[in-house]
Amino acid sequence: MCSLLLPFGRHGTCTGLSLLLVALATTTSVARAAAPVAPVASVRQTKPEHHHVPSPRKHTRTTTAARTETVAVTAQRRDFSYQEAQRTPDASTRVTADRLIERGIVTVRGLEYIAPNLTIQSINGTASTNFYLRGAGFNDFTQNNMGPVLTYFDDVPFVYSGMTDGMMFDMAGATVTPGPVGTKHGMSDTGGEVMLRTADPTDTWHFGAKQDIASYARSRSEAYVSGPLAKGLTFRLAGQTQHGGGWQTNPLNGDHLGDADLWALRGKLRYQPDSHTTITLSGHFTQDDSQVVTGIPIDRLIGTTALPKLAWRQAEWGIRPQFAKLIGREAGLKPSEHNQYWGADLNMSHDFGPATLTSISAFNTERRGEYTDQDALASSEADTYRDIDSNVFTQELRLSSSHPENRLQWTVGAMYERSRMHQRFFFDYTDYVPARGYMMSTTFGLNQESTSEFGNVSYRLPHNITIWAGLLHELDDRSISNLQSVIYGGTTKNFHGESTAANQFAGQVGISWQMMQNAMLYYKMSKGFKPGGFTANNTQVQGQLDPFKPETVLTYEVGFKSDPIPNRLRINGAAFYNDYHNQQILGTVLIPNYGPDSEITNAPKSESWGFEGTIEARPFERLYLTQNFGWQRGTFQNFPTVNRAATNAYYAAHGVWKAIDSNFAGVDSGQPKLTLNGSAEWRQPLSRRYSLDFGPDWIYRGSQAMTPGGTGFYRLPPYFLMGAHVTFRPAASHWQATIYAQNIFNRHYSESGGQATTVYMYIPGPPRFIGGRISCDF
């Protein structure tokens, strides 16, 4: 008996045995009884856990009668996923594992292709990322602060985004939630959260593999095995490797750049001594030695040397032997990662009857060595090497009501988080003359600790009206110490430590009305809080270590969810307004006789507003459409800072550094105003035994100002990309084959941009990739 891995649980397909969904499968006998009507897809939506993810413990012990009922529900829900979430008052985007595979999303950054008002950008082409959700976000190029949007893997928060590198494989689904969070679980934040779920162990034996080969010798491989070890004890082991794919070439010597070299493992051990208790021990390890995409020079801000004229897939880079020796790496090193991540977590839950107690303990660590060529030139005007050693411990304890059918629902809990970090930056400014002309390093340590208590209660009134309220209190304490800045062959500067603490409340109140069986309205008001921190970048004066302040936001949101034509048309939407105080944002400071330097600072007052929505439709029997759309605007109401563009222009004209100060009151905050993404698919049976699914997908992102008030090349141009796929599947086998294209029109576009010293550069997006993917599982 066979079945294919294809998105959405298409009729005639036994997707329950697919590579990424099999962790949530029922027993083999259930699969036989339900074929060919995607039994696992139905079970995944029948018994949701936290964040609407199913509990394998519950559905793997279903009776025969219940199994028959589940199959009937599947037949009704195969077209639109997460039906139960239509009664949840939020603007979250929920994505199945199959959709992640179909869109080729193998990193956290790819989530912007499937969620509205979401921008995720690489930091200088590296594996580290910056999030912007509904305009909330900032460019943390020093990577030592908690972002406004937090990423969770299996309920564990990753406060430093780089720690998620290599973890998006063997997935069970993803949820993107905009707006302030923290009253039901986890940590407080102002922008929202990305909740990622990995596949769980199964009660019966399953194993499988997937191979993806594409242009530029790109190869991605995955495999897993899952099954029982003893009574009540199950396990799952999964791994992935990534190689090749480098598409940049150096016209000076013909070298190419961008090849992946990554492997990762994840293991889960689950023990269920009885029907009320589940204990899951998980561990993961990633080794990433991938090359990174380097920038393309756009404009020379300082100096008169002409910039090279490069084709879109060309780039220049270079490392001096002296710098390679200083950082302890080999001569001729290409821009690349040399990173190692590992961690473990213990998730324990027990259902006491009226309430369920959950404990989540986690420890994660990173060892990073990262070389980037931040002048985008063969010369050494801003070559950078970053050495990071950090670890994070988190402990969450929460008690929640156990019966979702009760009118009263409640959650209380507490969260503790502690991080330790040591960073060392090396810079090669040898060719940046006469201003610098030297190599230097900056070293510092960072200690951070926070505790929070949270609670949330909701009550369902008559006439299908539900009211709810939540409250969170957080105490955060962090300090930076032992900061030393060394100019080799010159001076050494030592700076005294700084510390900052915050003691804040956040919360939420709301009301929802299920006015019809397939239509709901809601309104909520939320206050979000995010602690302050430090910018430790090329530190030359003590004032650069002044901490930036905590950020708070008051968010108003109104939304609706509807299925006006069940299984044919779904329309969800929300509108929002954000009132920020001390919004954390990347500004500029001018260091005398040194030049402008980036610094995270606060905009005392700012605001943003907009709307977003999702339309899913099946206008014809075999045509399936999905369209996400987001529109937002934001302005600074009070933001005094150094105008980087004007300051650079003054230096170019007079050869003297002079700070040109501006207040950007009334200026647009610069986030993309319009974001669109979607897909169309035609599902065509070829016979009773075979079928073919094919269609395009697309994404549009509006222009983005990379500096406050940015115009010209300081504003990243908009872009529109299209992809497509064709998938063949027999109805009765455990495999599928797909041919796909990404950026099918080979559009030239830029994913991010910035300035380190003398040159403004863009980080280019990848060209057209054409590939094939085959997977099998048993």
Neighbours of 743 (CB within 10 A): 19
Residue-range domain boundaries for the chain:
7-777
pLDDT at 556: 98
The answer on pLDDT for 45 being more than 50 is: no
With 0-12 / 13-18 / 19 or more C-beta atoms within 10 angstroms meaning exposed / middle / buried, residue 564 is exposed
The answer on pLDDT for 541 being more than 50 is: yes
pLDDT at 79: 64
pLDDT tens string 600-619: 889 999 999 999 999 999 99
The closest of 142, 86, 101, 93 to 118, measured between CA atoms, is 93
The answer on pLDDT for 65 being more than 70 is: no
pLDDT at 707: 82
The answer on pLDDT for 46 being more than 60 is: no
Q: Mean of the pLDDT values across residues 738-752? A: 96
pLDDT at 648: 81
Percent of the chain predicted with pLDDT > 90: 73
Report yes or no: 264 and 240 within 8 Å, Cβ to Cβ. Answer: yes
The CA angle 18-22-24, to the nearest 5 degrees, is 140
| Chain Cα centroid distance, residue 717 | 22
Joined together, the tokens standing for residue 31 give 């699969």
Report yes or no: 111 and 178 within 8 Å, Cβ to Cβ. Answer: no
Q: For the chain, what is the mean pLDDT?
A: 87
Q: Mean of the pLDDT values across residues 770-777? A: 95
Report yes or no: 383 and 374 within 8 Å, Cβ to Cβ. Answer: yes
Joined together, the tokens standing for residue 404 give 């979702």
The answer on pLDDT for 170 being more than 50 is: yes
Segment among 377-381, 552-556, 653-657, 723-727 with least mean pLDDT: 653-657
Cα–Cα distance measured from residue 325 to residue 315, given in angstroms and rounded to the nearest whole number: 24
What region, left, alpha or beta, does residue 64 occupy, with left being phi > 0 and alpha being psi -120 to 50 degrees?
Answer: alpha
Contacts of 760 (CB under 8 A, 6+ apart): 297, 298, 299, 301, 713, 714, 753, 754
Q: Mean of the pLDDT values across residues 403-409? A: 94
pLDDT at 301: 87
Give the amino acid at 414: A
Would you state the torsion angle of the CA atoms of residues 655, 657, 661, 664, taken in this order, to the nearest 10 degrees?
70
pLDDT tens string 337-346: 999 999 999 9
Cα–Cα distance measured from residue 325 to residue 337, given in angstroms and rounded to the nearest whole number: 17
Give the amino acid at 670: G
Joined together, the tokens standing for residue 497 give 């430590």
pTM, two decimal places: 0.86
pLDDT tens string 223-255: 999 999 999 999 999 999 999 999 999 999 999
Class of domain 7-777: mainly beta
Residue 41 or residue 706, greater confidence: 706
pLDDT tens string 416-450: 999 999 999 999 999 998 888 999 999 999 999 99
The answer on pLDDT for 413 being more than 50 is: yes
pLDDT at 49: 37
DSSP, collapsed to helix, strand or coil, labels residue 529 as strand
pLDDT tens string 108-137: 999 999 999 999 998 888 888 888 999 888
Give the model's confidence band at 406: pLDDT under 50 very low, under 70 low, under 90 confident, else very high.
very high
Does residue 36 have a cis peptide bond before it, meaning omega lies within 30 degrees of 0?
Answer: yes
pLDDT at 568: 94
The answer on pLDDT for 44 being more than 70 is: no
pLDDT at 191: 93
The answer on pLDDT for 141 being more than 90 is: no
Report yes or no: 450 and 405 within 8 Å, Cβ to Cβ. Answer: no
The answer on pLDDT for 11 being more than 50 is: no
